[in-house]
């Protein structure tokens, strides 16, 4: 019937309309934040057009043009405070990265330097006939060796935690930490393969031959472990380099934050106590003439 309609807002100066528009303004802020599904830091970054319109009407209802400026500064200050907190959280993460990297890089670099002998041993024994050595015997049957190793693992218990050598295979010691006498057997156990470096393989012990095969596969893939360690060292060095640069940076909007906060700290008490326009003008003059809003509202009213 009607393709276009006009919407008129009626405001009575000094009336209860002030409270109504304040309520409307707060609702619009929350709705905008929820509908955009954004992080609070970003959702508060811009005051949407409808929220500003509510501020306009609220300012008109109170008869105080500085109320809108107070609301603007309040919103801007909230945005800057959130951004500053996010920035400081990032710096904390960079500090953690520096601490972690400086602690672990030497360990990883040492590990990286010790792969060559283990890789050579892995390659040299890959095609050799099977033999697994225990304390006083050597077994050349995979099923028998797997069965014996499973029993050693099952009964690998002691009152105090200690690492015991269970066997030697392809030039590597096979070690495992003991469990307490009452500790139940887990579904999978971790076996350490020890050469110049230490490698871990998870075993479910469901198949004796399968257990031997998993251990052998882990030894075959030591060269892959070297590549992974190399990538980790490279990645950690890159992160450390970036962190050392970023942690020294200051909050890029610190000047804006301090200026907005100073303006707000001056303006807010004056607006709250309903100071005269001239008094507020004088108080804000030290910041910039540009911050002074027009004393007369430009919103047309339909009465």
Each residue's pLDDT tens digit, 140-176: 999 999 999 999 999 999 999 999 999 999 999 999 9
Question: Which one is predicted more confidently, 81 or 24?
Answer: 81
Residue 66 pLDDT: 82
Query: Span 117-129, mean pLDDT?
Result: 96
Residue 280 pLDDT: 82
- Alpha-carbon distance 108 to 154, whole Å? 32
Query: Span 100-111, mean pLDDT?
Result: 97
Residue 21: CA count within 13 A, CB half-sphere: 26
Does pLDDT of 188 surpass 70? yes
Percent of the chain with pLDDT over 70: 76
Residue 299 pLDDT: 34
Those residues whose C-beta lies under 8 Å from the C-beta of residue 98, and which sit 6 or more positions away, are: 240, 243, 244, 247
The three-point CA angle 227-231-233 to 5° equals 115
């Amino acid at each position: 019937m009607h393709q276009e309609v006009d919407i008129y807002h009626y405001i009575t100066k000094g009336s209860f309309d002030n409270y109504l528009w304040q309520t409307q303004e707060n609702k619009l802020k929350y709705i905008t934040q929820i509908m955009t599904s954004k992080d609070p830091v970003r959702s508060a970054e811009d005051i949407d057009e409808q929220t500003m319109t509510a501020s306009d009407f609220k300012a008109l209802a109170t008869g105080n043009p500085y109320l809108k400026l107070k609301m603007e500064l309040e919103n801007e200050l909230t945005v800057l405070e959130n951004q500053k907190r996010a920035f400081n959280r990032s710096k904390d993460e960079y500090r953690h990265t520096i601490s972690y990297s400086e602690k672990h890089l030497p360990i990883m670099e040492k590990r990286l330097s010790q792969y060559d002998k283990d890789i050579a041993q892995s390659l040299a024994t890959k095609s050799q006939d099977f033999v697994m050595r225990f304390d006083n015997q050597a077994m050349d049957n995979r099923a028998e060796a797997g069965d014996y190793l499973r029993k050693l693992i099952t009964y690998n218990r002691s009152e105090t935690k200690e690492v015991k050598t269970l066997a030697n295979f392809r030039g590597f010691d096979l070690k495992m930490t003991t469990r307490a006498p009452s500790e139940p057997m887990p579904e999978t156990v971790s076996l350490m393969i020890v050469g110049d470096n230490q490698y871990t393989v998870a075993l479910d012990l469901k198949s004796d031959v399968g257990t031997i095969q998993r251990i052998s596969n882990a030894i075959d893939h030591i060269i892959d472990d070297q590549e992974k360690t190399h990538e980790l060292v490279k990645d950690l060095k890159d992160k450390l380099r970036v962190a050392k640069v970023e942690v020294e940076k200051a909050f890029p909007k610190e000047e804006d934050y301090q200026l907005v906060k100073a303006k707000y700290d001056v303006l807010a008490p004056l607006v709250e106590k309903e100071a005269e326009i001239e008094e507020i003008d004088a108080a804000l003059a030290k910041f910039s003439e540009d911050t002074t809003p027009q004393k007369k509202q430009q919103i047309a009213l339909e009465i």
